[in-house]
Structure 1
């Protein structure tokens, strides 16, 4: 018999798989399919990715202004249904403007599944007397990548691009069942509404500015590979037909990475572990530039999967510890930079790939940006060690759902 905690954790992870693993990450293996079957080009592929991230960013901003717990729960459920519908409907049209709309709405669904979902789970864990650890929650990102990779290989030769989208949508619908069955009544562990946090308006500190800029750079490193990895692999004659395998390896590497990084943080501290994650992320891009062979690209995928999830989880956890009284404020600042990067980078790299017929320039720019991010992170570390960052915490009562400022 599964305990209630296990059921709730499974439901939460499946929600991430639906709203991000399928609704977002299915697009990555679908890019080559749509290029060959629907006339998609690199520039349009990048613009559609930008539309998706614009939806996620818009959802994050919307959520940050909502104080009603009941409304947040409703939006969480709407996001789950929206993820299923926007995925399946991608196969029902070949109109570009509808693709833009569906990818934008899919991004909104992803923000509900991840941001609201994390807050709801944390609230429930605290109320039940469990440790508020979200490592297993974020493992849903890696699990989602694995599932989309395996499904891509099973259907890519048997079905057309539009049928493949519908299959992804149906798969998300099946996964929705345990979420519906095993999710608790979150209304019982949340206040009716959250008090609006009050804090003194302050100028952004040098520490937060450096950290925000570093996280922006990390956003570039994340989104370029997440969007174009399979397309890069399929564009190589040596890797044609193996893009799904590259994507599968990425997910397998990402799924357990949060726990591994947690262990490293306990032994070496936040900053060393985080700097290592940035450097590994840069190494994954460098490998894509240096090699087109299967072994090299697979190694790049492994390093990327481990590093990107580590950067996200460790940065947000560290900020939560540095500003425990009001984590939503600095997390919101970080999300802003990360979201802007996710909107701009795919558009720029897609345009360069379309105009030059190669991803090299886009990857080179990405590599430089990540290295700059590592330098900025080192600067933030130095400022923090010198005790130069101000007390940016708010002297207010902030409920657990304020973690949705991620």
Structure 2
């Protein structure tokens, strides 16, 4: 049986070209993040109309997904390095399945909560494990540049979600068809991931351990991972909580804000496309900049810029403020993710799954809180100004922590 399985694996060509691996990583993030998480944002106005959902229910559906992302990040922290590929395959498949499930007609709202929870778990796991698997395939001299190509997948996915939604809505289809097409277009990824299967993956069949032993092993690994870097990791992780809290108001409700405030029927999708395109254009720029001035300095600049972006709809009414917010969020979002994850995993590369998982847990916590705070502040009039103000303040607090982090002795960071 094992021989048969290995023979089937050999039918898929092994991919070793670093650029192609980066592009597969890009595709993976486009599927698990762009579709698995952010297609919900693009289709949210149509979902709310077709299902007659209130802003409160929409906010909870978003937060349930972020709870799942939190759980996924937690699970990824327990994944041994040797089983990274197998776990990634499993949860990428789950991401595709949950995307296609939202095409089921008359799906009860409770199942929507379940599907979005599972989609969040899949996104959290696949985001972390794909980053570990893909980035460790790069040579040291090309790692910074190719990493930005990998993380640009988030922008590609967001852009694809906007274009797909815009196109199908213009043809009088609705969210169910949009989710089905998104799922079908994700299927080739599973075949491509077979091509970057590590040579030692066939040997990664660990013996089952008790829950107690798993906890002991995890506790030991966590201690070794953060040993000597406790203060630095605490500051960086807390700033990442605030970063997750800060950006999520825009990436959940920006199309709704645009639909409510602007006369154009497709204003929400146009503005969401701007977010995705901005990610694609600017993420490689931050990789180049980081090589010159360092990742922490780049991260500090991006955090300040994103905070200003949150205030832009408060300073400028109508389209100007909303589009400024969209451009700045797109410019900064993936760059902040890329810089933070690279900084924290490089503190102890042997435990990259665990450290990236720890950071992603922090980010997911902020993302879970963000929509609930925004909905509570929006009130019955669905006014998101107070939510944007809170997001900007949160980012400025995170900026302060990053400045503190930078002052730590070099050996601690």
The normalised TM-score by structure 1 is: 0.84
Matches of 2:301 and 2:81, distance apart in 1: 39
Cα 1:363–1:239 shift into 2, 3 Å:
farther
Match in the other structure for 1:89: 101
Matches of 2:358 and 2:130, distance apart in 1: 20
Residue 49 of structure 1: how far off its partner (Å): 0.9
Matches of 1:267 and 1:367, distance apart in 2: 27
Aligned residues: 383
Residue 325 of structure 1: how far off its partner (Å): 5.3
Match in the other structure for 1:166: 177
Matches of 1:149 and 1:366, distance apart in 2: 24
Cα 1:244–1:183 shift into 2, 3 Å:
same
Cα 1:330–1:8 shift into 2, 3 Å:
closer
Match in the other structure for 1:22: 35
Match in the other structure for 2:209: none
Shifted more, 327-336 versus 339-348: the winner is 327-336
Q: List runs of 5+ in structure 2 lacking aligned partners.
A: 1-14, 207-216
Cα RMSD after superposing both structures:
2.9
From 60, 85, 96, the equivalent of 1:47 is: 60
From 156, 161, 164, the equivalent of 2:169 is: 156
The answer to whether structure 1 residue 273 and structure 2 residue 285 are counterparts is no
The Cα offsets for residues 267-303 of structure 1, whole Å up to 9 and x where unpaired, read as 2233332111011101111112223432332222111
The Cα offsets for residues 323-371 of structure 1, whole Å up to 9 and x where unpaired, read as 4454455444322321111111112212332434311111111111111
Match in the other structure for 2:287: 262
Match in the other structure for 2:121: 108
Matches of 2:227 and 2:193, distance apart in 1: 43
Report if aligned partners of 1:18, 1:176 keep a CA contact under 8 Å in 2: no
Match in the other structure for 1:357: 382
Report if aligned partners of 1:83, 1:110 keep a CA contact under 8 Å in 2: yes
Map 1:253-402 → 2, pairs under 5 A? 253-324=278-349, 326-328=351-353, 330-382=355-407, 384=408, 387=409, 391=412
Residue 171 of structure 1: how far off its partner (Å): 2.9
Matches of 2:314 and 2:182, distance apart in 1: 35
Q: List runs of 5+ in structure 1 lacking aligned partners.
A: 393-406
The answer to whether structure 1 residue 36 and structure 2 residue 49 are counterparts is yes
